Amino acid sequence: MKDVETRPRKYEGILILAIFLATLPLLIGFSLLIISSFSKDMVTNFNFKSFHPTLENWINVFRGKLAITGGVRVNMIRIVLNTLIVALGVSGLVTLVSVMSGYALSRMDFKGRKWMIVSLMLLHAFPGVALIVGVYLLYRISFPQGQDWVRLYSFIYVIFARAALEVPMSVWLMKGFFDTIPWEFEWSGIIDGASRITVWRKIMLPLIKPGILAVALFSFLAGWQDIIYVRTFLIDQTLATFIEANIEAEYTHMPLIAAAGTLYLLPTIIFFLTAQQILLRGYSGGIKG
């Protein structure tokens, strides 16, 4: 007897066709973007006569050369580094907060616990755009007086602001993972003389590694892809704001922007290709309330 539910195969073809049709606009858009990044001219329709293969766009992207003629250049390495700083900062902060908070909500009984659990989903429901006015007010109030700290402050603030949007859902996921671990594992450690912190660090965390990795990946992608908070609070450019700022500039060579857009997509593609099983376990294992 099979341990999984089976469904009639006669509907599989229809289901696959429906999924394919639903994702077809996205597939066409991403395909044309990637093809254009290797072409001298943009391929904006299915007329592939405009496709003239070249690697010049990618070479110019890494050189920071935005136009074919003239001397318009940017420090592309610095822009990629800025994007990485934001993404890694958001990932690290969200993972740290959600792992500790998820454990506390799962294992400890304290005043306001039930209210906090209900509030997590409510906070996650608020879109980041709706909060931008209040977040900007805090940004202005806490803005440093000295010019030397402005750039560092903008990085720290955008990391904390973007992480705050990801924390509620991540805490909920981590709580679900901690809920799946039997109490006997924790009791055995405490009986052996270990402190609660030691049990959390040496027994609980190794058992929820897939959840930790899933939360870290999701929050990394959130920081990497963010444009609203980065555009509002960060002084330096990231890949998202770089593409947004140059997409309508007169001097910009569009196939080069297509190459920058493809570079912007690479972490997402790599993560989803290499960590599909982990992400699925993250969603399925962390939804227990």
Give the count of beta carbons closer than 10 Å to the beta carbon of residue 191: 8
Q: How many helices (H) and strands (E) does the chain have?
A: 14, 0
> Is the pLDDT reported for residue 156 higher than 90?
yes
> Is the pLDDT reported for residue 26 higher than 60?
yes
Give, for 210, the enclosing helix (H) or strand (E).
helix 209-225
Q: How confident is the model at residue 15 (pLDDT cuts 50, 70, 90)?
A: confident
88, 68, 91: which is closest to 80 by C-alpha?
88
Determine what percent of the chain falls in helix, strand and coil, rounding each to the nearest 5: 75, 0, 25
The pLDDT score that the predictor gives to residue 97 is 94
Where, residue-wise, is CATH 1.10.3720.10 in the chain? 76-236
Mean pLDDT computed over every residue of the chain: 83
Q: How confident is the model at residue 91 (pLDDT cuts 50, 70, 90)?
A: very high
Q: Which range (25-29, 77-81, 116-120) has the least confidence?
A: 116-120
Alpha helices in 38-149 (DSSP H): 56-63, 76-107, 113-125, 132-141
Where does 76-236 sit in CATH, by number? 1.10.3720.10
Q: How many residues does the chain have?
A: 289
Q: How confident is the model at residue 64 (pLDDT cuts 50, 70, 90)?
A: confident
The pLDDT score that the predictor gives to residue 283 is 55
Stretch 25-29: mean pLDDT = 88
